[in-house]
Amino acid sequence: MRTQVAIVGAGPAGLLLSHLLRREGVDSILVEAQSRQYCEQRIRAGVLEQGTVDTINEAGLGARMQREGLVHHGIELLFGRNRHRIDMTGLTGGRAITIYGQHEVVRDLIDAADAHGHHMFFEASGVSLHGLAGDAQRDRPEVRFMHQGVEQRIECDYIAGCDGFHGVSRNSIPASVLRTYERVYPFAWLGILAEAAPNAAELVYAHHERGFALYSMRSPSITRLYLQCAPDEDLSQWSDDRIWSELKTRFENDGGWQPAEGAILQKGVTPMRSFVAEPMQYGRLFLAGDAAHIVPPTGAKGMNLAVADVRVLSQALAARYRDGCTDLLDAYSSTCLERVWRAEHFSWFMTNMLHPSADDTPFVNRLKMSELNYVTTSEAAARSLAENYVGLPFAA
């Protein structure tokens, strides 16, 4: 097979890229290791920045998100038994976030890809990348894989590595070329999905001496909650009763609010990591999304960064095919990394501020409380948090 851009991975990055390229008249073929159903049901992120919502709408893919997404204008920080609201919309000149599950985004993107006749291979195994170095005389980029027992090869001009943190793309780049930066946190999140109608209007990020807790939601009937836990936490030790009791303790407040309880539909443990690989390009291979960078979920930035990357990449590829100009492609890595490092800092900042850690000295504990007091009492500090949380605007 032959195409202009071979895309590896059907997460938000790979799927959205295939749509943005089609709209620019650029052909692509997408290769995914998992089944379509698995991709559509994987429960992950839930917060879409304004710029992510705008990008999905501009691509003509936002109809269901506009109907079912929950628009939020603020978040709450709970500490010292008090709830403090950050008025994101008021502090950012009208920007907001939308609560809409990542699996719903993925479902919408796959449905639209079907409708437009995108060429996609699910359940591909043994995916490997070849001819990346970019010397057009010698190297022809190629993606090889097995599909339904048949060996397949896609010849292409460029490969988009959108295959997440554990994919093959980043590891196809010679180690001597890549520089990586990493922090692994000494805690994780135990996340649940509960059949309970949300009884708070906005997300609640709670700092408690027993650990962080987050109140989020997916729809008018489903709540999503997280508890800070150990990275090697044994889920079998967490009965439903123990989870609810711990959540109630961590959300304790003088107003008496408690998260509404319901049947627990799903439980899981998410490790917390910050990671960046630079540069995000090697020859004909461009990394996008979690393949190049990971943020801890406290800043709700992961999926939004994936969307921002493919927005830049689609514009750069469009310029290359439209007028042969590779300036934007050459600048891809440095353009993306600017936003990536801002999000890395914000996610690290939110994570540190909100999670007590066994390693913290009493001095560090006091600093965290001071930071929480500052962002909830100083308009300047609150505005900085709000501007990062709703997401910085895209360059024109």
Query: Which of ligand PHB, ligand RFL, none binds 127 (CB below 5-8 Å, type-dependent)?
Result: ligand RFL
Binders in 294-323 for ligand PHB, by CB under 6 A: 297-298, 300
Helix (H, G, I), strand (E, B) or coil at 65: helix
Binding of ligand PHB at residue 106 (CB under 6 A)? Answer: no
The SS3 assignment for 132 reads coil
Residue 167 contact, options ligand RFL, ligand PHB, none, Cβ 5-8 Å cut-off depending on partner type: ligand RFL
Backbone φ and ψ of 297, nearest 5°: -70, -5
Greatest pairwise CA separation for the chain in angstroms: 70
Q: Which amino acid is at 135?
A: D
Interaction pattern, residues 45-84, with ligand PHB; x per rule: CB under 6 A: xxx-------------------------------------
Query: Closest separation between CB of residue 144 and ligand RFL, Å?
Result: 11
Mark whether 72 is an active-site residue. yes
Closest CB 7 distance from ligand RFL, rounded Å: 9
Residue 71: Cβ within 10 Å count = 14
Q: How many residues bind ligand PHB (CB under 6 A)?
A: 9
The answer to whether residues 134 and 123 touch, using CB atoms and an 8 Å cutoff, is no
Residues that bind ligand RFL (CB under 6 A): 8-14, 31-34, 39, 44-47, 102, 124, 127, 162-164, 166-168, 191, 270, 289-290, 297, 300-304, 306
- Burial of residue 283 (number of CB atoms within 10 Å: 0-12, 13-18, 19+): middle
- 44, 195, 220, 368 from 272: Cα distances, Å: 13, 26, 28, 19
If the CB atoms of residues 26 and 47 are measured against ligand PHB, the closer one turns out to be 47
Residue number, 374 or 394, with CB nearest to ligand RFL? 394
Nearer to ligand RFL, 37 or 377 (CB): 37
Q: Please say if 301 is a catalytic residue.
A: yes
> Which candidate in 100, 158, 205, 215 is catalytic?
205
CB 134 within 8 A of CB 283: yes
CA gyration radius, the chain: 21
Please report how close the Cβ of residue 152 comes to ligand RFL at its closest, in angstroms: 12
115: phi then psi, degrees, rounded to nearest 5: -60, -35
DSSP state of 175: T
Question: Positive or negative CA dihedral for 217, 218, 224, 230?
Answer: negative
Nearer to ligand PHB, 106 or 203 (CB): 203
Q: From the list ligand RFL, ligand PHB, none, which binds 34 (C-beta under 5 to 8 Å, kind-based)? A: ligand RFL
The 3 state secondary structure assigned to 155-166 is ECCEEEECCCCC
Give the shortest CB-363-to-ligand PHB separation in angstroms: 27
Q: Which residue is nearest to ligand PHB (CB)?
A: 46
Quickly list H helices, the chain: 12-23, 36-41, 50-58, 63-68, 88-91, 102-115, 240-250, 302-323, 327-330, 332-354, 362-377, 379-390
Q: What angle do CA 185, 190, 196 make, to 5 degrees?
A: 145
224 binds, among ligand RFL, ligand PHB, none (CB under 5 to 8 A by kind): ligand PHB
Q: How far is the CB of 188 from ligand PHB (least distance, A)?
A: 13
Q: Contact between 355 and ligand PHB (CB under 6 A)?
A: no
By CB under 6 A, tell whether 224 contacts ligand PHB: yes
130 included as an active-site residue: no
Residue 135 structure tokens: 């010397």
From ligand PHB, ligand RFL, none, interface partner of 109 (C-beta below 5 to 8 A by class): none
Nearest of 231, 227, 235, 230 to residue 204 by alpha carbon = 227
Q: Which residue lies nearer to ligand PHB by CB, 98 or 298?
A: 298
Q: Which positions from 180 through 219 interact with ligand PHB, judged by CB under 6 A? A: 203, 216
Smallest distance, ligand PHB to C-beta of residue 390, A: 13
- Annotated active-site residue 374? The verdict is no
Closest approach, Cβ 180 to ligand RFL, in A, equals: 16
Closest CA to 296 of 357, 350, 227: 350
Residues within the interface to ligand PHB (CB under 6 A): 45-47, 203, 216, 224, 297-298, 300
Positions annotated as catalytic residues are 72, 205, 297, 301, 389
